[in-house]
Amino acid sequence: MKDFTKPCIIISKCIEFSPCRYNGEIIRSAFIKKLKPYINFIPVCPECAIGLGVPRKPIYIIMDTNRKRLIQTSTGNDLTDEMINVTDSYLNSLGDVEGFILKSNSPSCGVKNVKAYSNCKKIEPVTTTASGFFGAEVMNRYPSLGIEDEKSLMDMRIREHFLTKVFTLSRFKRIDNIEDLIQFNKDNKLLFTAYNPGEKHILDEIVSESKNKSLTDILNKYLNHLYKIFIHPQEPDSNVDIIMDVMNKFSSFISNQEKLLFMENIQRYREGRITLSASRTLLKSWMIRSGNTTYVSQSFFNPYPVDLMGIDHIMD
Ligand code: SF4
């Protein structure tokens, strides 16, 4: 069983951690509950951090002529500066993290699709694509990390990408010698090829040219390109190409019925109805049966803990 390092993820506190929403409620999420044993979650509530109580009157983004403001419209209180200061001080003191899961649609935590109004009457939003104050600063400072809201993570493809990224980054950050980096690069060969063959080639070069170079320089250079690998989610076609290629290597150990089941799963994956987990599991079982376990340690088949692979259909 592969040993996974727990990624550190900042999460909006009202998601499964505390009833700190403006109305005293908590957001329940079966997915976050499932993640808790595998992630070091660090909950934060920016609105509580600026001194607002629970419950509280709601706050909104109001587009002033010059700048975006955070206003408690029922009292007229302008909380913009407090929120900017608290966000800065929180993020300035933040240690190493792999990602963020933030509350959707919040004027504080939201990363996208937040409503903003032209005035305190809030009749019609001027935009529905603003970012909350905390969410916007997170995206500004950490463009290469995993940043999603809880609603986006209900999409299987986004969820798979997010988990793959944060668990891979977490493993990378544990590396403290060149031998481990070589092994890491080797174990991720298929995964990186599926994500971005060009960047994967650069990572190979960095490793092969590492002799007599400073480990810190090599790791920094490697990390920069690792971030580039994960800019976009994998294309289903690249994943299918790789999984078919490996499957063909084991075809003599597979019955026609098994092949049929495998191809059905691949088709359902192409149609966005399931993740790749079912096909990965089948393929792994054939590898073990064949006695050829060359590929079993490839992260492509184990990008994150196996318990999290059975959550294709979790709906919150
Ligand atoms: S969305 Fe953010 S600011 Fe609002 S209650 Fe949740 S954690 Fe607090």
Per-residue model confidence as pLDDT tens for the chain (316 residues): 468 999 999 999 999 999 999 999 999 999 999 999 999 999 999 999 999 999 999 999 999 887 899 999 999 999 999 999 999 999 999 999 999 999 999 999 999 999 999 988 887 888 899 999 999 999 999 999 999 999 999 999 999 999 999 999 999 999 999 999 999 999 999 999 999 999 999 999 999 999 889 999 999 999 999 999 999 998 999 999 999 999 999 988 899 999 999 999 999 999 988 888 888 888 988 998 899 888 988 999 999 998 898 655 454 5
* Ligand 1 pocket: which of 109, 115, 131, 137 to mutate (most atoms within 8 A of CB): 109
Query: Burial level of 211, CB count in 10 A (0-12/13-18/19+)?
Result: exposed
pLDDT tens digits, one per residue of 32-89: 999 999 999 999 999 999 999 999 999 999 998 878 999 999 999 999 999 999 999 9
Give distance in angstroms: CA of 13 to centre of ligand 1.
Answer: 6
Atom of ligand 1 nearest to the CA of 22: 5
Q: Which of 205, 102, 160, 208 is nearest to 314 (CA)?
A: 160
According to DSSP, the residues that pair with 69 across neighbouring strands are 62
Nearest CA residue ID for atom 8, ligand 1: 45
| Residue ranges per structural domain of the chain | 8-154, 155-316
Residue 98 near residue 7 (C-beta atoms within 8 A): yes
Atom of ligand 1 nearest to the CA of 106: 1
**For the whole model, what pTM was predicted?**
0.94
106 in ligand 1 pocket by Cβ < 6 Å? Answer: yes
Give distance in angstroms: CA of 7 to centre of ligand 1.
Answer: 22
